[in-house]
Amino acid sequence: MNFIFGQSHFIKTVEDLHEAIVTTAPTMKFGLAFCEASGPALVRCSGNDERLTELARSNALNLSCGHCFIIFIEGGFPVNILNSIKNVPEVCSIYCATANPVEVIIAETAQGRGIAGVIDGVKSKGVETPTDVTARKQLLRTLGYKL
């Protein structure tokens, strides 16, 4: 499973992200959630897969950081929809797009909570060897990203 984690600024984010995904990758399964930062301050959700939508909903509620959004996807990769997500007018930034374990660093003040950053994956273990280069190139071709 992969996910995209970012920040936006407007209540229509949920509908716009949903539309961006289904028009770019109509067969991709996804669930998304957005943390509203004012008014009722609700977690707003959408998706085409209830399990992924619930996963997005529960993670967003655990984060409870204003204007963050999270999209869980299956049947594709972030690279398939990332530019469409970044082109949604109210999207401010993308923190990560990954299948790695992620830790979110949260700052909390009297006003609320916000994202200070993310730790995406593990610490580098070395530099690739010629064998690693061959394996990387083969993987990209196996996945259909290179000819």
How large a percentage of the chain has pLDDT more than 70? 100
Mean pLDDT of 97-110: 96
Interior angle at CA 62, CA 68 and CA 90, nearest 5: 10
Pick the CATH number of 2-142 from 3.40.50.720, 3.40.1520.10, 3.40.640.10, 3.30.70.260: 3.40.1520.10
| pLDDT tens profile 68-103 | 999 999 999 999 999 999 999 999 999 999 999 999
pLDDT at 4 over 90: yes
pLDDT at 11 over 90: no
Q: Do the beta carbons of residue 20 and residue 87 sit within 8 Å? A: yes
Rg (CA), the chain: 17
The structural domains of the chain, with segments of one domain joined by +, span 2-142
